[in-house]
Amino acid sequence: MSKVKKIGLLTGGGDCPGLNAVIRAVVKSAIKNFQMEVVGVLDGYEGLVFPGKTMMLGYEEVRGILPKGGTILGSSNRANPFAMQIERQGKTVSEDRSAEAVKRMKELGIEALIIVGGDGTLKIAKELKDKYGVKVVGVPKTIDNDLSATEVTFGFETAVNTATEAVDKLHSTAESHHRVMLVEVMGRDAGWIALHCGMAGGADAILIPEIPYDIEKLGKKIERREKYGSKFSIVVVAEGAKPVGGKESVIDHPDQPWQLPRLGGAAQRVADQISRLTKKECRVTVLGHIQRGGTPSPFDRNLGTRFGVAAVNLAGEGGFGRMVCLRGRGIESVTLEEAVGRQKLVDPKGEMVMAARAIGIDFCSAPDA
């Protein structure tokens, strides 16, 4: 059994529905079952580097937060203690402040960290463990659902619900004006949100990163629908979708090697080409951060709660260097090495893609010819 009596809790990376459920579960189970104190670390890893960015968490602080989106601790997808952005003489420079972060943990009496985040956040957690021996427990979080060690991440279902509702609403206006409606959704290199909301929303075509598209095939799909009386089409486009032999659309390149490019413009690129090919009027809706916001679904609240309790149990039992995960219907754990080792992507020949093809949804690739 671990003798840890004071843990730190931080949420890193992009926010997503269900984070507050995790925070609430960690605090309540840590106090009730292990008599631990919980220190909330604010704004991701920034709270470990800069002074004054922590808060004690008790029952009062987590009361009423279960149905709220976002995170009461704040987050950051650019804060990396090994490459922190610091202003020096009017210039932004990158500095390794990881030793200071570990020192501040000790000053605050934090004996272990529960770190909630996606691949990037958990890679930093692993580095803190490997370099300094920091006791860490990971909780998987991303709306992209691309962490291979867990069957699903909390926040994903809520994001899919939001995107599906948007697709549903666009059907009526697309049909009224005989337009091609393109909906761009998040997911980066993984097409899970696009695939799930496209199927649930009855899209006519789904473009995902794992299946490069042929724009002419999409144009022919739209023309065939027109020929047989369907004068409108709905196309769901993942932000990381790319044409055969091409690259994804990037609107902002990172200043640091550890930062990811900012994706955007994938649906507009498709719309411009389709408009020229078919002479159809095209409209683009980019859902963007709407998918990150809002009240988490019951599933995401429950999964976040289960993850939070499991993370505290690991800390209480000395199971550090691991991440909680969903396997089958139960909560298990894997090493951080396994957690960040491989990205989970859509299988182009998987059952769900085959089911979509079977009901006439096109991915506009060579197999669709």
CA 338/CA 147 separation, integer angstroms: 10
pLDDT of residue 256: 60
- Map out the domains of the chain as residue ranges: 6-154+296-328, 159-292+347-368
pLDDT interval class at 41 (50, 70, 90): very high
CA 285/CA 268 separation, integer angstroms: 9
pLDDT of residue 369: 40
- Please say whether the beta carbons of 34 and 312 come within 8 A: yes
pLDDT of residue 89: 77
CA 36/CA 20 separation, integer angstroms: 19
pLDDT of residue 114: 98
- Please say whether the beta carbons of 33 and 65 come within 8 A: no
Q: What is the CATH number of domain 6-154+296-328?
A: 3.40.50.450
- Please say whether the beta carbons of 301 and 66 come within 8 A: yes
pLDDT interval class at 310 (50, 70, 90): very high
In Å, how far are 217, 297, 355 from 300, measured between CA atoms? 37, 5, 25
Q: Which residue has the tokens 């956040």?
A: 121
DSSP reduced 3-state for 334: strand
Residues 50, 147, 126: CA angle, nearest 5 degrees: 40
Query: Mean pLDDT across the chain, nearest whole number?
Result: 92
Could you report the per-residue pLDDT of 274-285, keeping only the tens digit for each? 999 998 889 999
159-292+347-368: in CATH 3.40.50.460: yes
CA 308/CA 30 separation, integer angstroms: 9
Global pTM value: 0.92
Could you report the per-residue pLDDT of 312-358, keeping only the tens digit for each? 999 999 999 999 999 988 999 999 999 987 899 999 999 999 999 99
Could you report the per-residue pLDDT of 119-143, keeping only the tens digit for each? 899 999 999 999 999 999 999 999 9
Buried b (16+ CB within 10 A) or exposed e, 54-84: beebeeebbeebbebbbbbbbbbbbbbbbbb
Mean pLDDT of 7-29: 96
Q: Please indicate whether the domains covering 6-154+296-328 and 159-292+347-368 agree at the CATH topology level.
A: yes
Higher pLDDT, 251 or 46: 46
CA 301/CA 259 separation, integer angstroms: 29
- Please say whether the beta carbons of 316 and 4 come within 8 A: yes
Higher pLDDT, 176 or 346: 346
pLDDT of residue 367: 55
144 is catalytic: yes
Element (H, E) at 336: helix 336-339
Rg (CA), the chain: 22
**Residues whose CB falls within 8 Å of the CB of residue 180, separated by 6 or more in sequence, listed in order:** 174, 222, 232, 233, 235, 271, 274, 275, 278, 280, 281, 282, 283
Q: Is residue 252 over pLDDT 90?
A: no
Could you report the per-residue pLDDT of 187-210, keeping only the tens digit for each? 999 999 999 999 999 999 999 999
Encoded tokens for 368: 């669709």
Q: Is residue 253 over pLDDT 80?
A: no
pLDDT of residue 257: 59
- Please say whether the beta carbons of 334 and 149 come within 8 A: yes
User: Which of 15, 43, 119, 144 is the catalytic position?
Assistant: 144
CA 236/CA 204 separation, integer angstroms: 8
CA 12/CA 76 separation, integer angstroms: 6
pLDDT interval class at 368 (50, 70, 90): very low
Q: Is residue 31 over pLDDT 50?
A: yes
Could you report the per-residue pLDDT of 80-125, keeping only the tens digit for each? 999 888 878 778 788 899 999 999 999 999 999 999 999 899 999 9
Indicate the DSSP class of residue 186.
-
